[in-house]
Amino acid sequence: MKSAVAVALWLGAALCSLTGCAPKARQVFYVNSYHQGYPSSDEAMGAIRGLLKEGGVELRVFFLDAKRDPSAAGIARRAGEAADAIRVFQPDVLIVSDDDAVKYLVVPHFKNGPLPVVFCGVNWSAAQYGLPTEHVTGMLEVVPIEATLRDVIRRVPSVRKLRVLSEDSTSERNNTPLLDPKYRALGLEPSYALVKNFTAWKSEFVRAQREADVIYLPTNGAIQGWDRSAAQGWVRNNIRKPVVTCDDFMMPYAVFGLTKVAREQGEWAAQAALSILDGKRPSQIATVANQLVRCYWNQQLGQKIGFDTPTEKNCQIEDPTQ
């Protein structure tokens, strides 16, 4: 028996010497909750692609398309397809970005291993998903909305009523109970309008200008029929009160924003995946929150309503032609 095993090993070694056996390439599967063309996830994905390519890692990408088709049934179906593709590909690490991929893919299929998972872009907390676990770690997305609103309050002390106008999506529905106490701690009275289409957004924008003191625009990716040029014109014609955001791609419609740096999420996720490929366990990598912030001021809108850039901040001026 021993001689048979020895012969088999010798034959295997001889075959490798003749054919040039190479070790299995390191593989990562990445599931993007959204679609190619959504600005913040494109930035994160670009960082993931670039760093893993530099590390000699084979990468497979799958899009859940949760912004353009936000129905729970549609996302769950595509998450099932992603799970099947992952099992066929047999990666060494799974990376996912944003809440939908965590909720519909990681939790039902990979939360308890054995495949190591790295998430990024999960809003504010992963506790609602029972994460992190022994097999799952990641970077939370914490936007500087409190600091943004403090700057507005310093400039306009009479501000009390806050209207949050955003898309009707998994992330934004999750954000409402998470952020409401933070708004109230600033002395604000928040109200919410989560809309499905551009017509509703325009109507709610005008209503917010009439009823609120400050308007927060988190994002727009799941708003059906969004028209960038029409939205800019609508805001320009109807703005009367300060409008703020924490995403740079929303600055054409806002006066002021302290924004996250989306690429930071992808860079962290890729580095964590590389560490796992080098032998670390997910449980040895602490879950963290993003840190980088940029300041923007929309000069055209700011001058219209008399809201100047904070002098103590080095704010980039938003160019409405870009």
Q: Does 90 share its domain with 154?
A: no
pLDDT for position 316: 76
Hey, what amino acid is at 139? M
Strand partners for 29:
60, 94
* 233 alpha-carbon distance from chain centroid: 27
Q: Is residue 285 assigned to a domain? A: yes
Number of domains in the chain: 2
Domain containing residue 301: 145-260+294-317
Q: Does 126 share its domain with 267?
A: yes
Residue 273: partners with Cβ closer than 8 Å, 6 or more residues away: 28, 52, 57, 93, 95, 118
- CB burial of residue 61 (10 Å; 0-12, 13-18, 19+): middle
Q: Is residue 10 assigned to a domain? A: no
| pLDDT tens-digit readout, 208-232 | 999 999 999 999 999 999 999 999 9
Closest CA to 116 of 288, 279, 289: 279
Q: Is 303 helix (H, G, I), strand (E, B) or coil?
A: helix
CB atoms within 10 A of CB 280: 15
Q: Is 25 helix (H, G, I), strand (E, B) or coil?
A: coil
Q: How far is CA 293 from CA 134, 148, 290, in A?
A: 30, 11, 9
Q: Does 186 share its domain with 301?
A: yes
Q: Does 150 share its domain with 94?
A: no
Q: Is residue 173 assigned to a domain? A: yes
Q: Does 182 share its domain with 56?
A: no
Q: Does 238 share its domain with 277?
A: no
Q: Does 200 share its domain with 304?
A: yes
Q: Is 21 helix (H, G, I), strand (E, B) or coil?
A: coil
Q: Does 107 share its domain with 228?
A: no
Q: Does 123 share its domain with 87?
A: yes
Q: Does 83 share its domain with 178?
A: no
Q: Is residue 283 assigned to a domain? A: yes
CATH of the domain at 128: 3.40.50.2300
pLDDT for position 22: 56
Q: Is residue 18 assigned to a domain? A: no
Q: Does 154 share its domain with 279?
A: no
What stretches in the chain show pLDDT beneath 70?
Answer: 1-23, 310-313, 318-322
Closest CA to 290 of 30, 26, 47, 36: 47
Cα–Cα distance, 274 to 108 (Å, whole number): 25
